[in-house]
Amino acid sequence: MTLAIDGDRLLSEIETLASFSDAEAPAVTRIVFTPTDLKARAWMMAHCEEAGLAVRQDAAGNTFARWEGSDPAAPVVGTGSHIDAIPNAGKYDGVVGVLGGLEAIRGLQRNGFRPKHSIELLIFTSEEPTRFGIGCIGSRLLSGTLSADAARKLKDNDGNALDEVRRAAGFGGELEQVKLPSDYYKAFVELHIEQGPLLERQQISLGIVTKIAAPASLRILIKGSGGHAGGVLMPDRRDALCAAAEMILAIESAARTSGTIDTVATVGICDVFPGAVNSIPSRVRLSVDLRDTDLGRRDRVMSTIETACYSIAMERRVSIDWELVNADAPADCAPSIIDALSESCRKHQTKFLSMVSRAYHDSLFIARIAPVAMLFIPCRNGYSHRPDEYAAPEDIVRGTLVLAETLRVLSE
């Protein structure tokens, strides 16, 4: 029997999952541990159980759905992604990897295949940083990148601690129990939309990821001196926002001059106090996202930014303090899984592009404990994290088919 994907069912399930949302369609908002998130999780678990998978959840809410292999003691072959969504997002980010992973397993079941290594679908908790200010909480805990003690200190914007919120959502047990052993996975493959325009521009069906860039997150606080917009003469000013403007351009320049297009830097938040048109800004907070595929280069750019802080502070007569929120290491994808993905593409006569993931994903942290790789499908205009995020049905089905073929090879 030929390995095949039920595209109609898969696409219908993507639409249904998008209906679990706190935003009006076509936008999707699904914040971790909210009632909407819990309803979506329950719907997903029901579909996994319907497929004959054994479902369990850990203390952080990570959900595992296992198709038992003929050798239960052998390390697991994993696939999956996340279903939480930032406010005003689209319906494909993360979801394609979860529902595509489920359909890949069902396709192998229909094909009569019996794996030696168990195949497990993993739905990660809180890939998005929306609620607790840090992304990939579930995979960070699974890999030991985030300690249980550090996780317990995380709070949402309302001051609710992660530990309280997850227990109220029904996830008991201790966070120390979440970390997986280093020999748990034989391989882990994540299917995902590209969230960039390269595949579409080059009209290539699939991307095989060889490296995953990692973020460093900074908070910068600039303090100047406020005053009446009409009463303080220009020579006397210590305008925090003017200093912030120079700082933002210095951050952009540091990324642009790193020597590669793989360095990217973004100032996504600029919070100005007091925020009145006739008052000189006395305080500005900046949030910075810095990413690269090379750890040394990223850290050199970070050092350049830190030097700019000192020089701008002196020139502008302001104080500039910065805090490193996190600095994760990039990951290389496993050659063995890259080869399996490449051969699966060739078997199904699908052209592919070897590429870098500049967005980070849960696979970045699973790479700390297991061989990983990612498979990208195109998304229109590279749009993601917005309601008009779109992946073509044929690309979703094609990616799921190659994923299924790869899971078959890896689990034999």
Q: For the segment 212-261, what is each residue's pLDDT rounded down to a tens digit?
A: 998 899 999 999 999 999 999 999 999 999 999 999 999 999 999 999 99
- Is the pTM higher than 0.85? The answer reads yes
Q: Using one digit for the tens of pLDDT, what is the confidence trace for 44-95?
A: 999 999 999 999 999 999 999 999 999 999 999 999 999 999 999 999 999 9
Q: Which of 73, 103, 342 minimizes the C-alpha distance to 207?
A: 342
Number of Cβ within 10 Å of residue 139's Cβ equals 30
Domains and CATH numbers, the chain: 7-213+330-411 (3.40.630.10), 215-327 (3.30.70.360)
Asked if residues 213 and 291 have their Cβ atoms less than 8 Å apart, the reply is yes
Task: Label the pairing between strands 63-67 and 119-124.
Answer: antiparallel
Q: Using one digit for the tens of pLDDT, what is the confidence trace for 272-301?
A: 999 999 999 999 999 999 999 999 999 999
Query: Side-chain half-sphere of 216: how many Cα atoms within 13 Å?
Result: 27
Residue 325 has pLDDT above 90, yes or no: no
pLDDT score for 287: 94
| pLDDT averaged over every residue in the chain | 97
Axis crossing angle, helix 95-110 with helix 35-50, rounded to the nearest 10: 10
Q: Which residues contact 392 (CB under 8 A, 6 or more apart)?
A: 378, 380
Mean pLDDT over 375-403 rounds to 97
Mean pLDDT over 189-205 rounds to 97
Residue 269 has pLDDT above 90, yes or no: yes
> Hey, is 55 helix, strand or coil?
strand
Axis crossing angle, helix 95-110 with helix 393-411, rounded to the nearest 10: 60
DSSP category for residue 380: G
Q: Which residues contact 133 (CB under 8 A, 6 or more apart)?
A: 154, 325
pLDDT score for 333: 97
Can you read off the two tokens belonging to residue 339? Answer: 């080869």
Residue 1 has pLDDT above 80, yes or no: no
Q: Which of 79, 85, 83, 81 minimizes the C-alpha distance to 67?
A: 79
Residue 133 has pLDDT above 90, yes or no: no
> Hey, is 123 helix, strand or coil?
strand
Instruction: Looking at 325-375, list the stretches that DSSP marks H as alpha helix, in order from N- to C-terminal side.
Output: 335-347, 362-366
